Amino acid sequence: MMIARRLFSISAKVAAPNAANANEVIVSAVNGKRVITLNRPRALNALNLPMVRSLYPKFKKTKDIESFFGARVGRMGHGSDVRVVKEFDSKSNEVGEPYGSTTCMKWNEEGGVSLVIIKGAGDKAFCAGGDVVSVTKSYKANDPAQTVHKDFFREEYLLNHQIGVCKVPFIALIDGITMGGKWNEEGGVSLVIIKGAGDKAFCAGGDVVSVTKSYKANDPAQTVHKDFFREEYLLNHQIGVCKVPFIALIDGITMGGGCGLSVHGKFRVATERTMLAMPETALGLFPDVGGSYFLPRLSHYLGQFIALTGYRLNGADVCHSGIATHFVPSSSLVDLENELMKLPNSEVSNERVGEVISKFRPTTIPKFSLEPLLSKIESVFSANTVEEVVERLRKSDSDFARKQLAVLAKMSPTSMKITLRQLQEGAKMKFNEVFTMEYRLTQNIMKGHDFHEGCRAILIDKDRKPVWKPATLEEVTPQILDAYFAPLPPSDELIIR
């Protein structure tokens, strides 16, 4: 069967908070396989809302998309200046339908896709995290029209979940910093690869600046602070449930939102250039995009350690920790991708994809740098409270303990307490359930101080001197913490079935 070659991209100009730059997400279709390229190399492939919106519909049925996005589909449909997803046929160069249409194939449920690979463009990053600057700007704009601070996390979480339940091999090539038809359900796609453009990052994270601006605008027309997280989480979920092999090439910086685009897939390929971290406690946020699910399931309480401290893992450590499934030299990524794309669709399976990736594994990989510290990490970060974590570090007479104390002293006390409880709760939840909790946290955190202050200090003014309120762990009472985990009004909840 012949399948037309298509390139999916995003419209060209940024005229509104929900608009996107040209080609920020490129999806190539060849012989029933899909290659996703995160194409913002100058921004370390940081994830923004339009990028999320270009990906999520490729996993879900059209009727589900229309049901979820509702008026948004109409707003971004024919004749609109903001057309989030357009399809380009290489033969005709004609612009197809936006994401409310039926032109794309669903990877997860209706067959035709045998494997998915995700990677970052360039050689510096897979994905350096979500665009949290957009989130905080959206919130601070106090403009109802700016909804990034609401939409980003919700939609990112849905994407994270889809990756986690993806039913075909999902391969993430994690090289560097790792701060169309519906592929999931309607057939025609046998495999998906996701990667980042450029050589610095896979994806450096989400656009939280847009989120905080949207929220602060206090304008009903600005909904980025609502939409970003909602739609990001929907995308995360879709990746997790993807029924074709999903391969993330995590080459370069992979942070925050970049983890949500990769760790929930079946295959995550790290390289010697990979640098992966969840730095949210330094931003007054928490490790979202499904972090509630995958972090507490790492051995030796590594998830709690990574989440609280923002510790940066190199490529080999990402593999040894279990976050990545494979380690491949960055110089072999092109050959790996080519071999995966040459697989006959009839032969594509998780087992076969795993065999292909393993062919590119080096004879030896660097040792796990944290191996000598695992017992200390477990003894400290298995504590039930952040106060106890700090106390255990103080009692430990080691350079490691002193260094981690200094790191934790810089983090938001509120974020650290939210994070530890989040992971404790997430350890008992199903994959789809964690996104409900995380979306509640994003919307309640938006009402507080630290998220906006963290975005200001780290991403906007960049003075790196946040003033946290409350300033100490002791001041973050159980009542304050409970408020962040409180349910939202029923109409605002994110429930993934």
Would you please indicate which residues are annotated as catalytic (active-site) residues?
Answer: 206, 257, 280, 288
Strand, coil or helix: 268: strand
The answer to whether 192 and 93 have CB atoms below 8 angstroms apart is no
C-alpha to C-alpha distance for 257 and 272, rounded to whole angstroms:
20
Whole-number Å distance between alpha carbons of 327 and 314: 11
319 C-beta neighbours (distance < 10 Å), count:
26
The Cα-based distances of 404 to 25, 308, 400, 428, 466 in angstroms read: 37, 10, 6, 27, 19
Q: How many CB atoms lie within 10 A of CB 347?
A: 12
Tell me the DSSP string of 55-122: HGGGTS-HHHHHHHHTHHHHHTSTT-S----EEEETTT--B---TTSS-BPBTTTSS----EEEEEES
Residue type, 16: A
Measured CA distances, 27 to 36, 279, 370 (Å) = 5, 28, 36
Return left, alpha or beta for 451; rule: phi > 0 is left, psi -120 to 50 is alpha, else beta: alpha
Look at the chain and count its residues: 497
| Cα 49-53-54 angle, rounded to 5 deg | 120
Neighbours of 428 (CB within 10 A): 9
Give the Cα separation of 446 and 283 in Å (integer): 12
Count of CB atoms within 10 A of residue 14's CB? 15
Asked if residue 329 has a cis previous peptide bond (ω within 30° of 0), the answer is no
Other beta carbons within 10 Å of 476: 23
Residue 37's H or E segment, with its range, is strand 33-38
Strands 170-174 and 267-270: what pairing?
parallel
CA atoms of 422 and 442, how far apart (whole Å)? 12
Nearest-10 Cα torsion for 220, 222, 227, 229: -110
Block residue for tokens 């996104």 = 435
For residues 194 and 262, is the Cβ–Cβ distance under 8 A? yes
Q: What one-character DSSP code corresponds to residue 200? A: S
